[in-house]
Copies of this chain bind each other. A is one copy, B any other.
Amino acid sequence: MNVQFAQLRYFLALTTAKNYSLAAEQCNVSQPALSMAIRKMEDDLDLILIDRTSNPITLTEKGEMIAAQAMRILDEMQLLEKLASDLHDDRLTGQLKVSVIPTLAPYIVPQFIQKYAASYPDIELIIEEDTTKSILQKMKVSETDAAILATPIDEKSIVYQPLFYEEFLVFSHEKIDKKYILPEDIDFQHLWLLEEGHCMRQQMIKICELRNQTKSQIRYNAGSIESLMNITESSGGMTIIPEMATWGLSEDRKARVTPFYEPTPVREISVAHHRFSTKLRLINTITHTISEIIPQYMKIKDTYQRIDFQT
């Protein structure tokens, strides 16, 4: 563990400047300082990073690979310094706009909004429902500060931190007299899905695809979990709902909820924000408050044998 940050900085400056003196100037050090630092780095790593015979100097293949990794380190380092400077602002006040996906919002928002207001009276919290796609777009242009959504998402400018894992369950028109739902128990002819745009719709389809039942005609209609359940009740058939939607159900409805057989499908719910957000402290208050609400077992990834929702 000998490599120094300064060395990495000098090295990367050199890789772009391709000239020791110039790179040294950019780093505000003398040319020998930079020269020796890089030599030391080569010694420490025991690798030749620079081809000094060519003119202008070039990186060796190994040098290229080290440079790529060095850049990642400095990126993270810059983030640390930005974070530190953001944290200088001690006031825990201001506006915080949080977007939540519609299949989660009705269940999580009411639970934490009161607790939150009590804990952080000086933060003006604005919550809005929106689809993942739209949320990501808004976060990129800083129209919203943070989001609570299903992950994974892969968007270089957005970072996220998993909060909890939520099981999917089957809600049916009539009581199912089984402890677990097996593939053959699913009535694909009468499976109600969410309408376009919900990420959970994709997950519902995925659950069915994974069970190799795609030839059926899947009907979709509902714009919310609540209306999904209503349609299921009024028109028969079954649907898939997330765990938290079962918490407030009547005993009558609860009796018609059946878990899947393992591997249980789950979704990962995370707090996301822009990589360069300036409101990290405010966003942190959201994370903390939610964490206090969620039962412990939901925070552990391995509670369930997961179905992977990777594309």
- Return chain B residues, CB-CB under 8 Å to A310: 132-133, 136, 153-155
- Return chain B residues, CB-CB under 8 Å to A280: 65
- Chain A, interface size category, equals 35 or more
A75-83, A163-171, A176-184, A244-252 - interface stretch: A75-83
Q: Is A116 an interface residue (CB 8 A)?
A: no
Given A62-B87, A154-B153, A155-B152, residue A3 in contact with residue B77 (CB < 8 A)? yes
Q: Tell me if A65 and B47 are in contact (CB < 8 A).
A: no
A66-74, A106-114, A117-125, A226-234 - interface stretch: A66-74
By a beta-carbon cutoff of 8 Å, the part of chain A in contact with chain B is 1, 3-6, 9, 45-47, 61-62, 65-66, 69-70, 72-73, 76-77, 79-81, 83-84, 87-88, 132-133, 136, 151-155, 196, 199, 202, 209, 212, 214, 280-281, 284, 308-311
Minimum C-beta distance from A15 to chain B (A): 14
Complexed CA–CA distance, A145 and B308 (Å):
21
Q: Tell me if B153 and A1 are in contact (CB < 8 A).
A: no
Q: Tell me if B65 and A69 are in contact (CB < 8 A).
A: no
Minimum C-beta distance from A224 to chain B (A): 19
- Return chain B residues, CB-CB under 8 Å to A88: 46-47
A77, A132, A136, A155 interface centre (most CB from chain B within 10 Å): A77
- Return chain B residues, CB-CB under 8 Å to A132: 310-311
- Return chain B residues, CB-CB under 8 Å to A73: 73, 76-77, 80
Please pick, from B61, B70, B83, B284, the residue contacting A80 in the complex, using a CB distance under 8 A: B70
Given A61-B284, A65-B280, A65-B281, residue A81 in contact with residue B309 (CB < 8 A)? no
Complexed CA–CA distance, A133 and B153 (Å):
16
- Return chain B residues, CB-CB under 8 Å to A45: 81, 84
15 chain-A/chain-B pairs, Cβ below 8 angstroms: A1-B77, A1-B81, A3-B5, A4-B4, A4-B5, A47-B88, A61-B281, A66-B84, A69-B80, A72-B79, A132-B311, A151-B154, A152-B155, A154-B310, A309-B311
Other 20 A-B pairs with CB < 8 A, given A3-B5, A47-B87, A152-B154: A1-B77, A1-B81, A3-B81, A4-B5, A5-B5, A46-B88, A47-B88, A65-B83, A65-B284, A69-B83, A72-B76, A73-B77, A76-B76, A136-B310, A152-B311, A153-B310, A196-B209, A199-B311, A202-B311, A311-B311
